[in-house]
Amino acid sequence: MEPASIRYKNPGAMWGKGNPIAAKWGAGPTINLNDGLGQGNNIAVFPTFVQGICAQIDLWRSPRYHNKRFADAIAVWSGGNYVQSYIDFVKKRAPGMTENTIMSDALLNSPLGIAFLKAQAWHEAGKEYPASDDDWLEAQRCVFGGQKPPAVILPNPKPLDVPPIVPASPQAAKGFWATLASIFIRKA
């Protein structure tokens, strides 16, 4: 089975419950996760990779992470779990990132920003994230260009082929009730 961050098109593995950023970018239902650490984790579900990436970028722009040192911000993002290995993983895949890199709009709207976001998604998934390069670039344009990704239009479900309900005739109803009554009436 694919990792949750891939299945739910959520490269940052961000929470969904009570998360206005996830809602802003079109997240649907929230799925509860059992990570084995007892943190009560959940994950937002996005219709497209672009929407999930937009939310990932936007969350980095929120007060908990924005304009903070990478090492400090990732400690918050990870819930304090395996912080140094997370930092090392990202630095290896995003040359130029350091513990002191500031998580600014300038970073997030740059090629290094995309390399960082991809590395983070890889870390969260445990394997390379399958979003295309175009998805990452489109998300960056949407967030920093002030536009929304294209709406996802789901096909209308096919109507069920159910025959119309025809009211029973008075004779059929009388026969039904007579049959039902005969089951419960004792014969002497």
pLDDT tens track for 143-166:
999 876 666 554 444 444 444 545
Tens digits of per-residue pLDDT, 92-101? 999 999 999 9
46 within 8 A of 73, measured Cβ to Cβ? no
Give the max Cα distance, the chain: 96
Residue 77 φ then ψ, to 5°? -55, -45
Tens digits of per-residue pLDDT, 71-127? 999 999 998 999 999 999 999 999 999 999 999 999 999 999 999 999 999 999 999
What is the reported pLDDT for 117?
98
Residue 183 φ then ψ, to 5°? -70, -35
What is the reported pLDDT for 5?
95
Measure CA of the first residue to CA of the last residue in the chain; give whole Å: 66
What is the reported pLDDT for 120?
97
Averaged confidence pLDDT in the chain: 86
Q: Which two three-digit tokens encode residue 24?
A: 């802003």
Where b means 16+ CB within 10 Å and e means fewer, 156-188 reads eeeeeeeeeeeeeeeeeeeeeeeeeeeeeeeee
116 within 8 A of 90, measured Cβ to Cβ? yes
The torsion of the CA quartet 62, 68, 69, 71, rounded to 10 degrees, works out to: -50
